[in-house]
Structure 1
Amino acid sequence: MTFLSEPVDGPAVQTLYAADVADDGYVMNLTHLWAHDPPTNEALTSLLVHTAEVARLTPADRGVLICATAAALGDSYCALAWGGRLSRLADEATALAVLRGELDDLPQRVRTLAQWADAVVRNPAATQATDVDALRTVGFDDRQVFALTTYVALRLAFSSVNASLGATPDPQLRDDAPPAVAETVTWGRGVED
C-alpha cells in the first residue's frame, strides 16, 4: 500500500485509523503513510482547513482546486478521491472537465479556479498579474487569493508525499467514483486490489 512499513502503533496512530473507519469504513492507504508522524498530519490538515476558510472556499471550490491540482501533477489518488466527491458536490460533467483540463464550457468561477491550480502546479513562475485579476473578477479579494494559492500549494505537498512514498489509491475510491471518472484517471499509481 506504500513503500514504508506499518507505523509504530500507539494512541495517535489508532486515533487516525479510527477516524478513517468511522468516516469511510476502512483505513486509507495514505493514512498508513501519514500515521508515521501524526503531528505532521494534524498540522497540515489544520493549515488546509484554515486556508480554505480564509479563502471562503465552498466544498465544490475545494473539489475543483484539488482535482485540477491532482490532474496537473498526475496524482491518481487525489484525482479518484476528489473526482468522485466533485461529481457529487457539483456534477459528473464538471468533475470530468476539470480532470481532463477541458474547461471552456465550465462556469467562469470553476474555470478560473481550475486554471489557477493548474498554473500553480505546472509553472508557478509563469503566472501573471492578469491571472490574479481573473481570480478577483470571480469574487476573491487579495487575502483570499493568497489563501487559496496556499491551499493549492499545500495540496501539492500532500500529493507529493503520497506519490513519492508509494501510496496507491484504495480500490474503494475507484469503486465509489463514477465509472467515467475512474476511466479518466489513467495517470499516476494504479489501484491495487
Structure 2
Amino acid sequence: MLALHNRDMIGFLHDPEPSEGADRLYADDLDELGYVMNVSKLWAHAPEVCDDLFALMRKAVGGRLSLRTRAILVVAATSAFGDSYCALAWGEKLTAQAGPGTAAAVVTGADIGLTEAEQALAAWARRVARNPGATTEADVSTLRAAGYSDADIFAMTVFIALRIAFATVNDALGVQPDAQLADRVPSDLRAAVTFGREPLSP
C-alpha cells in the first residue's frame, strides 16, 4: 500500500484508510504528475465512485467533444460556479490548447481568443453552472446556429453537470488546490482565479 503520512486531514475529512483503490489513484497521479493530488486523496474514500463518475463523463462525451472543447466548458462552468481547483487544473489544459491569455480570459468571462462557436459554448456552460432553470430555447438555438447538433448539446450539458457535481463534492468538503498546481500555471491564469478556496501553501 502507498501510505500518505504527510497530512492527517484532507479538507475537512481525515485521510482515507489504505485500500487498493486508493493506491491506484495515488499511483496514477505519481506517474503523471510526480505527486498525489488533493482531490485524489479525498476521492480515495470511495475510489470506485470516482471511477464510475469519470467513466460516466467519458460515456456522456462519447468522443463528440475535443480536449479544447472540454477545457472551455470546464473552465467556463467552474469559474462561474466558483470552483478554483478545476478552474486552475483545466485552465492549465486550456493553456496548452489555446495559450495562457485565452485561458485567463475564459476564467474572467472575456473569452478573448475563442471562436464565435466557442464563445457560444462558454456562454452556455456559464448559464448551466449559474442557473440552469433560467436557460431558454433561444440559448439552445444559439448553439445550433454555431454548428452544434442536438446530440452535441445534450452531451456537453451532461458533461458540464457531471463536472459541477465533482466540483461540488470537492468544494463542500474543503479541498484546496494543490500548491504544485498553483505554482506551475501561468501567472495570468493564477491571477484570474480570484474565487473559491485558496491553494495550499508549498
TM-score normalised by structure 2 residue count: 0.91
Match of 1:154 in 2: 162
Higher share of residues assigned helix: 1
Structure 1 residues 74-93: aligned runs within 5 Å: 74-93=82-101
Structure 1 residues 66-81: aligned runs within 5 Å: 66-81=74-89
Match of 1:38 in 2: 47
Cα distance in 2 for residues equivalent to 1:107 and 1:143: 21
After superposition, the Cα gap between the structure-2 partners of 1:36 and 1:25, relative to the gap in structure 1 and judged at 3 Å, is same
Cα distance in 2 for residues equivalent to 1:95 and 1:51: 24
Number of equivalent positions: 192
Give the deviation of 1:82 after TM superposition. 1.1
User: What fraction of aligned residue pairs are identical, expressed as a percent?
Assistant: 42
Give the deviation of 1:139 after TM superposition. 2.2
Match of 2:36 in 1: 27
Which residue of 156, 161, 178 maps to 2:186?
A: 178
Give the deviation of 1:136 after TM superposition. 1.4
Q: What is the RMSD of the two structures over their aligned residues, measured on CA atoms? A: 1.2
2:196 alignment partner AA: G
Structure 1 residues 120-139: aligned runs within 5 Å: 120-139=128-147
Gaps of 5+ in 2: 1-9
Mean Cα deviation higher: 102-111 or 114-123: 102-111
Cα distance in 2 for residues equivalent to 1:138 and 1:175: 36
Gaps of 5+ in 1: none
Mean Cα deviation higher: 129-138 or 102-111: 102-111
Give the deviation of 1:106 after TM superposition. 3.1
Match of 2:6 in 1: none
Work out whether 1:53 is the aligned partner of 2:62: yes
Cα distance in 2 for residues equivalent to 1:180 and 1:131: 30
Query: Which structure's relative contact order is higher, taking Cα pairs within 8 Å and 6+ residues apart?
Result: 1
Secondary structure of the corresponding residue to residue 14 of structure 2: coil
Work out whether 1:6 is the aligned partner of 2:19: no
TM-score normalised by structure 1 residue count: 0.95
Cα distance in 2 for residues equivalent to 1:41 and 1:15: 12
1:111 alignment partner AA: Q
